[in-house]
């Protein structure tokens, strides 16, 4: 089954994938596009009323105005703040890439499938695979997210090489600005990456409220084509 959608991955953990996914989901929804949000596994979840609540998946569900269940968005949740594969192991559970892919595909033919990975592109995700393996299984175009900091160019180029090795289409790279971080005046990751890549590169301003800024119309058009 060929799906229309996007796989969001990062150069590392905590680079702003969820922020980017939420901005994208809100923008698409406001433009009348039905978003099917999926973050199939999330670790580092907190307990509320004896239930593990996935914060990232919850934000994604709300941003997409998704009428389905939170368990559809993220059925596999773990408390330990480590890779999903390690967290599952510590919880005496076994996750497979096929299980995660099936979760993503369920009901996805009804709209635009927006899948957020966990950690970086080569971060461990399941017992038998990495984020890259899930991306390959789904076959969706990829959006790469990085922090706009010194050293980002190396991280982006390594991730881009890995994505291309997977045979997937890289639609764009987004550089997330970081609160309180002062980039040296002589450095511009955006300007340096443009001639190095054959995909679009954008910066995304920091916002205290997750998903509160807008995504440029040309980027939206590129990501949904």
> Which residues are the active-site residues?
39
Region class of 204: left (phi > 0), else alpha (psi between -120 and 50), else beta? beta
As a residue count, the chain comes to 225
DSSP state of 197: -
The answer to whether 6 and 223 are in contact (CB under 8 A) is yes
Query: In three state form, how does the secondary structure of 57-79 look?
Result: HHHHHHHCCCCCCHHHHCCEECC
Distance CA 108, CA 140 (A): 12
Distance CA 86, CA 7 (A): 22
Distance CA 197, CA 213 (A): 25
Distance CA 18, CA 144 (A): 12
């Amino acid at each position: 089954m060929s799906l229309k959608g996007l796989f969001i991955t990062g150069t590392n953990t905590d680079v702003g994938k969820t922020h980017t996914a939420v901005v994208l989901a809100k923008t698409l929804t406001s433009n009348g596009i039905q978003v099917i949000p999926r973050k199939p596994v999330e670790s580092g979840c907190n307990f509320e009323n004896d239930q593990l609540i996935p914060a990232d998946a919850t934000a994604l569900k709300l941003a997409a105005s998704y009428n389905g269940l939170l368990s559809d968005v993220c059925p596999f949740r773990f408390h330990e703040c480590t890779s999903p594969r390690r967290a599952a192991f510590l919880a005496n559970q076994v996750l497979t890439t096929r299980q995660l892919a099936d979760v993503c595909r369920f009901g996805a033919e009804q709209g635009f499938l927006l899948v957020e990975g966990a950690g970086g592109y080569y971060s461990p995700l399941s017992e038998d695979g990495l984020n890259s393996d899930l991306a390959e299984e789904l076959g969706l175009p990829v959006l790469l997210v990085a922090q706009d900091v010194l050293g980002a160019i190396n991280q982006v180029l390594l991730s881009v090489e890995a994505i291309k090795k997977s045979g997937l289409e890289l639609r764009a790279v987004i550089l997330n600005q970081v609160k309180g971080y002062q980039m040296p005046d002589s450095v511009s990751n955006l300007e340096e990456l443009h001639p190095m890549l054959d995909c679009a590169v954008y910066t995304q301003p920091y916002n205290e409220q997750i998903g509160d800024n807008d995504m440029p119309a040309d980027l939206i058009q590129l990501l949904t084509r």
